Structure 1
Amino acid sequence: MSETSISEEGKYWYNVSTGSIEKGPQSDWTKLLGPYDTEEAARNAMSKVQARNEAWDAEDEEEA
């Protein structure tokens, strides 16, 4: 039996290796961001990651 919970099967995932969106996790979890409730949210995953990284970098610069 899969370790994926039933509640995650209807969710969307962003595959960082391929840049594709998966409905239900289809790839190894180390390559996935999610779960997201909508396909659009999954599609925007990398921009959200980038924005958070930039905010953390700015915070680190302020503390230095």
Structure 2
Amino acid sequence: MAEDKENQFWYNMRTGAVERGFQSPSVDRVGPFANHDEATHALEKLRANSAKWSEDDARDDR
């Protein structure tokens, strides 16, 4: 069953708003998220992922 991305939640990086469905241009959106709460914490998730990837890259460079 394909995911219904039009009804999932997205975080708008330009406005900081949580949106349901494709309300803003894709360049401004990150997601999709399963629920409103996950989308609300999108920046925290992005920062955590970025830190993990940086650590992984540094470990790979050794």
User: Which range, TM-score by smaller chain?
Assistant: 0.7 to 0.9
Report % sequence identity. 31
**TM-score under structure 1 length normalisation:** 0.79
- Please report how far the alpha carbon of residue 47 of structure 1 lies from its aligned counterpart in structure 2 after TM superposition: 0.9
Unmatched 5+ stretches in structure 1: 1-6
Following superposition, which runs of at least 4 residues in structure 1 exceed 3 angstroms of deviation? none
Q: Give the aligned length.
A: 58
**TM-score under structure 2 length normalisation:** 0.81
Q: Does 1:16 align with 2:13?
A: yes
Q: Could you tell me which of 48, 58, 61 is aligned with 1:61? A: 58
CA distance in 2, matches of 1:35, 1:61: 29
1:45 aligned partner: 42
- Please report how far the alpha carbon of residue 9 of structure 1 lies from its aligned counterpart in structure 2 after TM superposition: 2.5
Instruction: Give the CA RMSD over aligned residues.
Output: 1.2
- Please report how far the alpha carbon of residue 8 of structure 1 lies from its aligned counterpart in structure 2 after TM superposition: 2.1
